[in-house]
Amino acid sequence: MRFRNTGVLDIKSYIKPTNTFQYLDRTSMHNPTVFSGFIKGEAIRHHRNNSNTQNLKDTICKFKSHLKQRGYKEHEIHRNCESALNIERSELLRFKQDSDKQIPLVFVTKYHFSLGNINKALRKHYKKLFRNAKCRELFPKQPMVAYSRHRNLKQILISSVVKA
């Protein structure tokens, strides 16, 4: 409709009619940052793909209702969606060169909920490392935590190596 009047073409997120919105269940034992990252990422995708603000509001509203059905809390949904929607759309559409991205030191470990927030501890003690000139040279960016997957039952029971 707006194209006829102003010549501006609106785009919006396409959602297949057969989509069942089987988002990651909130009661699963994933790292808590997985849930917030997924919500923010999906909200960014909709923000990037919707040029009309009304279409964006409708899409985000439906997205939030689907998340509530999967057990997500209102404040968690709101916080992550708002942080995504506060980014300017032009910034989301900007091409980022590979040189813009520096790869930090990555601390890889298996995830377990009883470990606490390792990332928070690393950030806290990074300041102490940064005081030392040699460490500052070795670690110009803050280290980040990456969780590797535990071996599952299938991997334990079944060997992928074919024995002759």
**Tell me: the pLDDT tens digits for 116-143?**
778 788 878 877 877 888 887 877 777 7
Tell me: do 88 and 35 sit in the same domain: yes
- Residue 147 above 70 pLDDT? yes
Tell me: do 115 and 146 sit in the same domain: yes
- Residue 100 above 70 pLDDT? no
Helix (H) or strand (E) holding 73, with range, is none
Tell me: do 88 and 42 sit in the same domain: yes
Strands (E), 19-138: 106-110
pLDDT confidence bin for 99, thresholds 50/70/90: low
Tell me: do 18 and 38 sit in the same domain: yes
Among residues of the chain, what percentage have pLDDT more than 90?
45
Tell me: do 71 and 126 sit in the same domain: no
Tell me: do 84 and 107 sit in the same domain: no
Tell me: do 62 and 105 sit in the same domain: no
- For residue 94, what is the DSSP state? S
Residue 8: its pLDDT value, please? 83
Who contacts 117 (Cβ-Cβ below 8 Å, separation ≥6)?
none
What mean pLDDT is predicted for residues 73-100? 89
Name the residue with higher pLDDT: 120 or 11.
Answer: 11
Tell me: do 42 and 72 sit in the same domain: yes
- Residue 97 above 80 pLDDT? no
- CA torsion sign, 133 to 98 to 91 to 24? negative
What mean pLDDT is predicted for residues 35-55? 94
Q: What angle do CA 55, 60, 66 make, to 5 degrees?
A: 130
- Residue 114 above 90 pLDDT? no
* Boundary-marking domain end, from 93, 113, 135: 93
Domain tally, the chain = 2
**Mean pLDDT over all residues of the chain?**
86
**For residue 164, is it within any domain?**
no
Tell me: do 85 and 103 sit in the same domain: no
- Residue 33 above 80 pLDDT? yes
Tell me: do 82 and 111 sit in the same domain: no
Name the residue with higher pLDDT: 88 or 123.
Answer: 88
Helix (H) or strand (E) holding 152, with range, is none
In terms of residue numbers, what domain contains 76? 12-93
Tell me: do 62 and 117 sit in the same domain: no
